[in-house]
Structure 1
Amino acid sequence: MHSLMVADDHPLFRDAIAAVIQSGLPGTELREADCFAALTSALDADDDVDLVLLDLNLPDASALDGLRELRRAFPAVPVAVLSAESERATVLGALDLGAIGYLPKSTPRPDLLAAIKQILDGQIYLPAEIMRRPAEASSAPPATQGATQGVTGPADAGALEQLTVKQLEVLSLLIRGASNKVIARELDIAETTVKTHVSAILKKLGVGSRVQAILAADESTLLACLARRRVR
């Protein structure tokens, strides 16, 4: 049985999320907080939760500040952002601070449930419709402790040249928010093969996690490298 905490200041939205979770994950223990202070107080009393779903715009914690403070105070508690914000820079900023998923509030109910299950299964969830947007030079979030620890900057073409064509294809889908299952379907390979490719990508890029690989991969450099390799 899973234990989830939903932190959002709108009762109707908390009720809607509870209905989604209970319909697809029956028996889940669901706790709620209507502000950041209530969330931290609840976790102080009992931080044994499988996932916190955190709204970025709580009345007493704005933007990414609440996530930053939550990760500092409870580094072992898994946190996914649940927000109306849909900027690619905000998604990357949340990853940078250690979030293991980003769920836009506009996500359709079936997709939202699938995303929560994906996170509970140990995978990162990113909204594909946001991650496929072109990155802007001004949108890159500043490095902070968390997901980017050990990442010195975007991977250069030399590092990407170490990857096989298939690994480049996997990485290009990874940075657009695709899950292992989606990558397997898109590339017509087994899901276990995807996991093998991801492990090889992390090793060759010198990073320790999928999040670090996403943050280290510059999409334009990656796609240029992939185009060159495909015409050889």
Structure 2
Amino acid sequence: MHTLMVADDHPLFREAIGAVIAAGLPGSRLLEAESLERALQQAACHEELDLLLLDLGLPDAEGLSGLSALREALPWLPVAIISADQERGTILDAIALGAVGYIPKSTPRQDLLAALTRILEGHVYLPPDIMRRPPSPPPPGVAPPDDALGQRLAQLTDKQLEVLVRLMRGASNKVIARELDIAETTVKTHVSAILRKLGVPGRVQAILAAGEADLETLLEARRGGSS
């Protein structure tokens, strides 16, 4: 059905991933690599590879350098990060570098399978529990981002802002429609307007563009001002 690879230097974790895939994606094949070098070698020999799951703690790759190397050497290969690092900034940086998903190692088994399925269907997966956390305030003495983002966000209607908040949480159009009690086609219309007003081509870029804004506080302020 699918061919996947997990690049992780811990045999027990590779075994656990294999068990999840065997149970939830029957017929799929899992390749294993304990280093970035081995992952590059195997991936170059397997053009049928559908997805590579990359750990950020490989012995021959530091942080996101492994992702950068894979994107440069094998731009055709979808790569998702699977890591114990749950920093929001790391997640957004990985997506900006071309990762098709980011899965924390603490993800429960069923959620892990759902994330893999979503990625294999061609969607980008972001961990909703992490993406809904507000961004950390800038350190003392560091100026906030320029007001260009604020000006673009000011163009969004309250409903569009509510949709963008949920996009930041990794919610699908169907989930957003249910939470806001609107039609899924209406959600798509709002998403298109958000992309146009933020000047970005897709929802991932919208998440990256709005990554430093506390959208929920902005929305609350608007509601308070209109009451």
**Same fold at TM > 0.5:** yes
Q: Distance in 2 between matches of 1:229 and 1:138?
A: 23
Question: Which residue does the alignment assign to 1:212?
Answer: 205
* Cα contact 2:134–2:214 (8 A) shared by 1: no
Q: What is the SS of the residue equivalent to 2:206?
A: helix
Q: Distance in 1 between matches of 2:147 and 2:71?
A: 24
Amino acid across the alignment from 2:152? A
> Rg bigger for which structure?
2
Question: Which residue does the alignment assign to 1:16?
Answer: 16
Q: Distance in 2 between matches of 1:29 and 1:209?
A: 31
Within 5 Å, give how 1:109-124 maps onto structure 2. Answer: 109-124=109-124
* Cα contact 1:154–1:217 (8 A) shared by 2: no
Q: Distance in 2 between matches of 1:193 and 1:104?
A: 31
Aligned CA distance change for structure 1 residues 30 and 196 (closer, same or farther; 3 Å): farther
Structure number with the bigger relative contact order (C-alpha 8 A, sep ≥ 6) is 1
Q: Is 1:166–2:159 an aligned residue pair?
A: yes
Question: Which residue does the alignment assign to 1:186?
Answer: 179
Q: Is 1:50–2:50 an aligned residue pair?
A: yes
What percent of counterpart residues are identical? 61
Extract unaligned runs of 5+ from structure 1.
140-151
How many equivalent residue pairs? Answer: 220
Within 5 Å, give how 1:52-201 maps onto structure 2. Answer: 52-137=52-137, 156-201=149-194
1:186 Cα deviation after fit: 2.0
TM-score normalised according to structure 2 size: 0.86
Deviates more, 1:7-16 or 1:152-161: 152-161
Q: Deviations over 1:132-152 (max 9, x none)?
A: 22212559xxxxxxxxxxxx9
Q: Distance in 1 between matches of 2:208 and 2:82?
A: 20
Q: What is the SS of the residue equivalent to 2:75?
A: coil
Structure 1 ranges of 4+ moved more than 4 A? 152-155
Extract unaligned runs of 5+ from structure 2.
140-144
Q: Is 1:40–2:40 an aligned residue pair?
A: yes
Deviates more, 1:171-180 or 1:96-105: 171-180
Q: Distance in 2 between matches of 1:186 and 1:154?
A: 30
Q: Deviations over 1:153-210 (max 9, x none)?
A: 8862321233232221111111123233432332223444433322332122111122
* Cα contact 2:195–2:201 (8 A) shared by 1: yes
1:215 Cα deviation after fit: 0.9
Q: Distance in 2 between matches of 1:34 and 1:98?
A: 22
Q: Distance in 2 between matches of 1:49 and 1:195?
A: 31
* Cα contact 1:155–1:218 (8 A) shared by 2: no
TM-score normalised according to structure 1 size: 0.84
Q: Distance in 1 between matches of 2:38 and 2:215?
A: 43
* Cα contact 1:161–1:225 (8 A) shared by 2: no
Q: Distance in 1 between matches of 2:59 and 2:108?
A: 25
Q: Distance in 1 between matches of 2:113 and 2:31?
A: 17
